[in-house]
Amino acid sequence: MKFLRIGKEGQEIPVALDKDGKYRNLSSIIKDLNPESINFETLDKIKDINLENLEEVNQNERIGSCISKPGNFFAIGLNYVEHAKETGAKTPDNPVLFNKSVHSIIGPNDNVIIPKTSKKLDHEVEIAFVIGKKAKRVLEKDAQDYIFGYCICNDISEREWQKEKGGQWVKGKSGDTFGPLGPYLVTKEEIKDIGNINLSLDVNEKEIYSFLVGKSMETALLLGNQIKIDYEQKSKPISSDNVAAIIKGTEKPDEYIVLSAHLDHIGMHDGEVFNGADDDGSGTVAILEIAEAFKAALKDGNGPKRSIIFLHVTGEEKGLLGSQYYTDYDPLVPLSQTVANLNIDMIGRTDPKRIKGKRNYIYLIGSDKLSTELHELSEDVNSKYTNIELDYTFNDENDPNRYYYRSDHYNFAKNNIPVIFYFNGTHDDYHQASDTPDKIQYDLLENRTRLVFYTAWELANRADRIVVDKASK
């Protein structure tokens, strides 16, 4: 069988491929592909199910790492003879073991972040063994009984940190995004000859190396029964821009409120346009309307005391790339001068799973995470002007959806900039071609936009900058 995880980062669902190669949702059987579910008992249970009876999943979604939160991520150094020759190293008499941090794991097509001080970033295609039950003092003849399956790993390394800075290898192996896994977790029975697997690595459509595992491997763990895997990794540079406008403050021009929404969606699939009217056309339109209101106030001689940045970010659907670029590499103003970020991502619809409360609601996420004053200001503004039901369901740190970490506000929050994320929840048209303008509930969109405007207005015009009293470390 082949398994994978589909969805936005932090929201992935477990999926199995049926006999026709269609993605089938396993959420009714297992919560995730994690240490609790990756075992032989669960596998037997899934094998007994007719996958065609399970919900089909859109194959246009992002592919996450094929394993979630493994207990350990062990690797073997210099396990391929050809690679040892390439690096000028002697093949070891015994396996060289090292750790990669489990926090380095990302999806197979996610972007690898090059650290600012990196000089010698390197990449290696590897076959990874997934252990399916507790193992201790296992005899060689029994080793195969413990293997659940296999996946592809791209072992990213910073060679200068690994080899020239002293100490253990882990520092050069465990950077953020240094462990892409997947796309598939393939069960053991599909592998007929682990020594007959051809691995190759392409970077920017140029083959870096290719080898047959059985002829190249000397001291690695030769475990298993077999597949023919042809691994190809390609990437193409694509340019996309953030779009920003600024209204300078009249009294405190060096303090800034950032209003953000993402301008991208998932594009086209099989010739069909995925409109993205709610995600995030609703947020984009809201930012434009708010900007127009602030501009009108300025023309009337009532401009904001603090400056306002209207920021349309790109690449949200690819992993919050536009907002990350803004905060981590090229902010328009120093982050220390940024008072708060109000982020709008889907405010034009209603959540069909929300069965309690008013139709006129909005999910608020993050308002109390960093600043008590921001949360209180938000509540006061709503009571005074808009009277929307503020639903904090997804603000719970234990909420499994982890929305706090999944939209563009998070790149500001990780820098201790107070944030509010405005969100109506998902619906059946989420990430579908059917997310069209005719389904937008415009009265709700208008009132929610007013809430963001009034909140931004109060932030811009209050006497004192809001205090960050819950800074993260």
Residue by residue, DSSP assigns 394-441 as GG-TT-TT-GGGSSTHHHHHTTT--EEEEE----TTTTSTT--GGG--
Amino acid at 94: N
Contacts of 162 (CB under 8 A, 6+ apart): 169, 171, 172, 173
Per-residue pLDDT of the chain (473 residues; tens, 9 = 90+): 999 999 998 899 999 999 888 999 999 999 999 988 888 888 888 988 999 899 999 888 899 999 998 888 888 876 655 555 555 666 667 777 888 888 899 998 888 888 888 888 888 888 888 998 888 888 888 888 889 999 989 889 888 888 887 777 888 898 889 999 989 999 988 877 766 777 766 666 555 555 555 544 433 333 333 334 444 555 667 889 999 999 999 999 999 999 999 999 988 888 899 999 999 999 999 999 999 999 999 999 999 999 999 999 999 988 899 999 999 999 999 999 999 999 999 999 999 988 777 899 999 999 999 999 999 999 999 999 999 999 999 999 888 788 998 999 999 999 999 999 999 999 999 999 999 999 999 999 999 999 999 999 999 999 999 999 998 76
If one counts every other C-beta atom within 10 angstroms of the C-beta of residue 346, the result is: 27
For 154-210, the pLDDT digits (tens) are 889 888 888 887 777 888 898 889 999 989 999 988 877 766 777 766 666 555 555
Fold type of domain 74-216: Fumarylacetoacetate hydrolase; domain 2 (3.90.850)
Residue 62 backbone class (left: φ over 0; alpha: ψ -120 to 50; beta: rest): beta
CA distances from 304 to 258, 344, 367 (A): 13, 20, 22
Does residue 87 contact residue 122 with C-beta atoms inside 8 Å?
no
Distance between CA atoms of residues 182 and 150, nearest Å? 9
The two beta strands, 361-365 and 389-391, are: parallel
Q: Whole-model pTM?
A: 0.57
Residue 342: both structure tokens together = 């109000």
Distance between CA atoms of residues 467 and 288, nearest Å? 28
**Most distant CA atoms of the chain, gap in Å:** 83
The CATH number of the domain covering residues in 243-461: 3.40.630.10
Does residue 182 contact residue 151 with C-beta atoms inside 8 Å?
yes
Q: What are phi and psi of 2, to 5 degrees?
A: -120, 130
Domain residue ranges of the chain, discontinuous segments joined by +: 2-53, 74-216, 243-461
